[in-house]
Amino acid sequence: MNQGRTSIEVKFPVPWGHIAGKIYGSLKEERVLMVHGILDNAGTFDRLIEHLPQKYQYVNIDLPGHGLSSPMPSGMPLHYFDYVHSILFVLDALKWQTCIYIGHSFGAHIATYFSILYPGRLEKIVALDGFLPFLVKDIVPYIRDVYNLNAYTKDSNILYTKDEIMYALQFKRFETLRMEAAEALFKRAVTKVGDLYKFNRDTRLRHVVRPFFTLEQHKEIFKKYTTKTLIIIADSSVRVNILSQIVKTLPLITNKTDLFTVIQVRGNHDVHNNYPEWVAPHICKFLDDNLQSKL
């Protein structure tokens, strides 16, 4: 483990503002982009990165509308492929032709589509308790809800104490975070207003952003998937059964048996932040190409 690794703050210009992030390490040929899940921020990887090899340069971003990054343009709902495209803005700003990608949940979802739309840009993907986005079961009411913009703003200006923020970061989410893991998110999660805080969250994220595709359309698109991928599944995650079913079908969809390595670890959906030492060894082996597929 590497104690006390330091980072520098960066802002990458985009047409609607900036994408914020932090860079660990000097410029190297071996580079890793790290992307968090919905309603989290770059702090989700602070604890994990202490366990990862120093030979890489790591860039850890806040997705648009998260942390210290500008939200997408106002007045319209959020669209899945705008988030996919935001990764291209970051890579181009960094002048990275290729990199390794580590993503958690939604961050892993958008990596899969990015690698199909921009083949060759991602050398490998580490997908932490996420891969394909979940399907929209009933498309018409889903679209209607997404376009109900008035519903997004009802508590956007509420201020909270730090204790209330910490409680929300730990417990008002799909699965519980340890105190240390919540602290890692806190700095980028809020803006201080007097003695209180407001969340740095785009309120449109109340609706999890998904592509409007049927199962058959997903399958057709993923026939073009060619990126070597490590999928880490948390055994206590609420998504464990769905994710396990998805990964079993991947060789059939892609007609490739050597792309996917699947590892199951103890922990919940946020195990990479709660117990980074449980997932780091698998990531380190995968980065060094020493991990054999267990599909």
Task: Please count the helices (runs of H) and the strands (runs of E) in the chain.
Answer: 10, 10
d(CA 129, CA 239): 8
Could you identify the residue written with the tokens 């899945």? 80
Listed residue (103, 52, 67) closest to 232, CA to CA: 103
Beta-carbon neighbour count of residue 150 at 10 Å? 6
Q: Could you give the residue ranges of the DSSP H alpha helices within 138-275?
A: 139-146, 162-171, 179-189, 215-222, 240-254, 271-274
Residue of 105, 156, 237, 293 marked catalytic: 105
d(CA 163, CA 170): 11
The strand pairing partners of 233, in sequence order, are 264
d(CA 163, CA 10): 29
Cβ-contact 257, 288 below 8 angstroms: no
Report helix, strand or coil for 109: helix
Question: What is the signed CA dihedral for 190, 66, 174, 126, rounded to 10 degrees?
Answer: -130
Whether residue 105 lies in the annotated active site: yes
Backbone angles phi, psi at 94, to 5 degrees: -80, -15
Which residues are annotated as catalytic?
A: 105
